[in-house]
Structure 1
């Protein structure tokens, strides 16, 4: 395989995203399902719910890259359910879903002709009308979202049992 600027950029973005996913997964090491679903701060967030949310966000933005604007339109499933462990859900199942989405993301991104292809964003109060995001911009958004929630997870884990992702 010939390494091009585009290939190097793609691999850098995917490696950075993989590192943030690792931090998030590492935060839930050795937890029970009950611990993964427990709230430990004033927030409604729990560790399993954060992973569910990041999984849903990454999947939706990959749908955006592949299928366009309608795939990330607001509404749909109960967003609150993304942030908590529901009856019958397991940490192992949540992590397996996350792995599936990660694998799909890597396949889609490596299959793109370039990272400049863009799509219009859906109408929403938080997007400027007429804005388009490239695949590159979308990946950066997923990376930022994952890193932000990995930090949230670290605080929740430390509140749960004193364990830290790093340090």
Structure 2
């Protein structure tokens, strides 16, 4: 198998996995009202709408990193205080539409980017000093992030109305 075919298969597999975990998150909120999506029924302050909002913000930030490194990633200031909250003026439909837009942009970017392109990570206490991540590692991180929060969403949904997405 040629290197191009291997990369194409790898990219297809990565995109397919990310798409699957995004769908788990979207299915979890299907049929919910805005009020339900704002609820924080567990010991944490997480809500379903807030999780969708957070996963979108994280995906956008990491894709900026994939394109232009830490400088581009940090060029947009995120509202970390409200990043996990679904605010009164926000709707679940609006958050899902924004998430769809982000997913489509990510898919377009992944068609253009080389998975082996690497950038130094931002300076932060949770990153190894001087470490770099490839675009591939960014996509793997997005899969993990989305999957983890889809699991959180499933627990919250089950707490709200007994509905289970993944079990």
TM-score (norm 1): 0.94
Q: How does 1:87-166 map to 2 (within 5 A)?
A: 87-112=88-113, 114-166=114-166
Q: How does 1:6-155 map to 2 (within 5 A)?
A: 6-73=7-74, 76-112=77-113, 114-155=114-155
Q: Gapped runs of 5+ residues in structure 1?
A: none
Q: Residues of 2 paired with 1:143 and 1:57: CA distance?
A: 11
Q: Residues of 2 paired with 1:87 and 1:23: CA distance?
A: 25
- Residue-by-residue CA offset, 1:39-84 (whole Å, 9 max, x unaligned): 1101000000000000000000000011211233499333121111
Q: Residues of 1 paired with 2:18 and 2:141: CA distance?
A: 10
Please list every run of at least 4 consecutive aligned residues from structure 1 whose deviation after the TM superposition is greater than 2 angstroms: 71-78
**Number of the residue aligned with 1:4:** 5
Q: CA deviation at 1:32?
A: 0.4
Q: CA deviation at 1:4?
A: 0.6
- Residue-by-residue CA offset, 1:74-100 (whole Å, 9 max, x unaligned): 993331211111121000000000000
- Residue-by-residue CA offset, 1:82-124 (whole Å, 9 max, x unaligned): 1111121000000000000100111000112x21000000110
Q: Residues of 1 paired with 2:134 and 2:128: CA distance?
A: 15
- What secondary structure is seen at the aligned counterpart in 2 of 1:82? coil
Q: Root-mean-square deviation (CA), in Å?
A: 1.6
Structure 1's 99 and 90: CA in aligned 2 closer, same or farther, altered over 3 A?
same
Q: Residues of 2 paired with 1:30 and 1:64: CA distance?
A: 34
TM-score (norm 2): 0.94
Q: Residues of 1 paired with 2:164 and 2:75: CA distance?
A: 34
- What secondary structure is seen at the aligned counterpart in 2 of 1:83? coil
